[in-house]
């Protein structure tokens, strides 16, 4: 707490709040004896998450060579390089620093749940990765690795981190497959529900379940190849077919993509464009306007500079997608935005108008 700037009376108040607490259990009116609480805080307290954040706030200070990303009790350290020996040395050094820090701060690192995933370019399909990171215990580090029997951290090809399945090629195919499996499960439930629920309820279920599954992490996994996003789109159409009457489907003549505009639901590729543009609201990243030497019709509606790319990977980055998607929008749309909520409404209306 001192490191976070909590000093003086407020520091004393927190210390008194944590000191001398007792706990008793009551079952059917019978109470147990009170026991002293050595660790932790009351469940559901406001201090709980705040105290934990303050407790782990100093961890990034011991990570010298890698980058750290923390969310609650999930921590990820990342290092990029081309020489495997240097990568292994940097990762091992920083992981050992984290182990020492955890021991000094009373935190136990679960080596069994700790995984290592090497991420390579899809062009290096045959490259062999021989990186081995040891999960040294604090006692082993204290003995300077003498008689070390510590196990290596397991190498995996994919890992679920914060709800997104990251694979070793950044193709996002495993996560897209996971989204498709969830949508198929929702599709099966809607098949039974359509005989009992009203159309309004069916729409509510779609937006509560299916749309929520698609939207979570779309700004990340949506950068996969279009052929994989089409899997999600086809499942969207199958679900939307359950939301309309038989006569409506018959009138479409087999062109079920018209269901998106009819049901006022955005297909996944337009949802992705909307997410990318919304993320950049109020930011200047990747938004350098093209300058014109002469007054022409094009200069009256200036476009953003689109960087050059050598391969498809470059076209999957926000650096390329942000100006491309922004340039496709009507010139007046972005210049009439009053707030982020207003932008969302305008984008939704625009992309729905582009649906067949």
DSSP per position, 172-241: -HHHHHHHHHHHHHHHHHHHHHTTTS-HHHHHHHIIIIIHHHHHTTHHHHTTS-HHHHHHHHHHHHHHHT
Q: Are 351 and 273 in contact (CB under 8 A)?
A: yes
- Give me the percent of the chain exceeding a pLDDT of 70: 96
Per-residue pLDDT at 285: 77
Mean local confidence (pLDDT), 225-241: 96
Quick check: 90 pLDDT over 70?
yes
Q: CA 352 to CA 62: how far, in whole Å?
A: 49
- Which residue would you say has higher pLDDT here, 240 or 20? 240
Quick check: 133 pLDDT over 80?
yes
Per-residue pLDDT at 207: 94
Average pLDDT value over all residues in the chain: 88
Per-residue pLDDT at 313: 81
pTM: 0.86
Mean local confidence (pLDDT), 89-106: 91
- Give me the percent of the chain exceeding a pLDDT of 90: 50
Per-residue pLDDT at 5: 79
Q: Where is average pLDDT lowest: 61-75, 124-138, 338-352?
A: 124-138
pLDDT tens digits, 143-162? 776 678 888 899 999 999 99
27: β partners: 30
Quick check: 188 pLDDT over 90?
yes
- Which residue would you say has higher pLDDT here, 312 or 294? 312
Mean local confidence (pLDDT), 320-329: 92
Per-residue pLDDT at 44: 77
152: closest CA among 186, 115, 121, 98?
Answer: 115
Per-residue pLDDT at 347: 95
56: closest CA among 107, 111, 13?
Answer: 107
Per-residue pLDDT at 17: 78
User: b vs e for 169-203, b when ≥16 Cβ sit within 10 Å of the residue's Cβ?
Assistant: bbbbbbbbebbbebbeebbeebeeeeeeeeeeebb
Mean local confidence (pLDDT), 172-192: 96
163: closest CA among 108, 212, 91?
Answer: 212
Mean local confidence (pLDDT), 193-222: 94
pLDDT classification of 135: cutoffs 50, 70, 90: confident
Q: Where is average pLDDT lowest: 57-61, 118-122, 343-347?
A: 118-122
Per-residue pLDDT at 295: 67
Mean local confidence (pLDDT), 76-92: 92
Q: Where is average pLDDT lowest: 1-10, 22-31, 171-180, 243-252?
A: 1-10
Per-residue pLDDT at 297: 62
Per-residue pLDDT at 299: 59
Quick check: 82 pLDDT over 60?
yes
pLDDT tens digits, 256-302? 999 999 999 999 999 999 999 999 888 877 777 777 666 666 555 67
- Token output for 1: 């707490």
């Amino acid at each position: 707490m001192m490191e976070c700037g909590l000093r003086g009376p407020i520091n004393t108040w927190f210390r008194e709040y944590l000191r001398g607490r007792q706990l008793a259990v009551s079952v059917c009116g019978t109470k147990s004896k009170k026991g002293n609480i050595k660790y932790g805080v009351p469940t559901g307290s406001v201090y709980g998450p705040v105290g934990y954040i303050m407790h782990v706030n100093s961890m990034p200070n011991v990570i010298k060579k890698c980058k750290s990303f923390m969310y609650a009790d999930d921590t990820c350290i990342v290092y990029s390089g081309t020489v495997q020996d240097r990568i292994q040395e940097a990762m091992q050094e920083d992981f050992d620093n984290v182990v020492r820090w955890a021991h000094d701060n009373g935190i136990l690192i679960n080596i069994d749940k700790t995984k290592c995933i090497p991420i390579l370019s899809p062009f290096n399909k045959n490259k062999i990765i021989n990186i081995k990171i040891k999960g040294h215990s604090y006692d082993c580090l204290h003995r300077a690795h003498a008689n070390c029997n510590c196990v290596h951290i397991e190498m995996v090809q994919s890992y679920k981190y914060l709800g997104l399945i990251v694979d070793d090629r950044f193709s996002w195919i495993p996560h897209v497959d996971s989204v498709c499996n969830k949508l198929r499960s929702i599709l099966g439930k809607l098949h039974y529900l359509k005989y009992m629920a009203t159309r309004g309820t069916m729409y509510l279920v779609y937006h509560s379940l299916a749309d929520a599954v698609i939207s979570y992490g779309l700004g990340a996994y949506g950068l996969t190849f279009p052929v994989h996003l089409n899997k999600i789109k086809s499942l969207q159409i199958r679900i939307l077919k359950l939301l309309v009457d038989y006569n409506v489907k018959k009138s479409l003549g087999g062109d079920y993509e018209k269901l998106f505009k009819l049901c006022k639901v955005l297909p996944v590729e337009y949802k992705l464009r909307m997410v990318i543009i919304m993320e950049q609201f109020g930011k200047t990243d990747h938004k350098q306007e093209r300058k014109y030497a002469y007054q022409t019709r094009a200069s009256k509606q200036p476009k953003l500079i689109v960087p050059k790319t050598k391969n498809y990977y470059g076209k999957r980055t926000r650096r390329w997608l942000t100006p491309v998607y922004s340039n496709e929008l009507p010139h007046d749309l972005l210049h009439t935005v009053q707030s982020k909520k207003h932008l969302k409404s305008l984008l939704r209306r625009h992309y729905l108008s582009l649906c067949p």
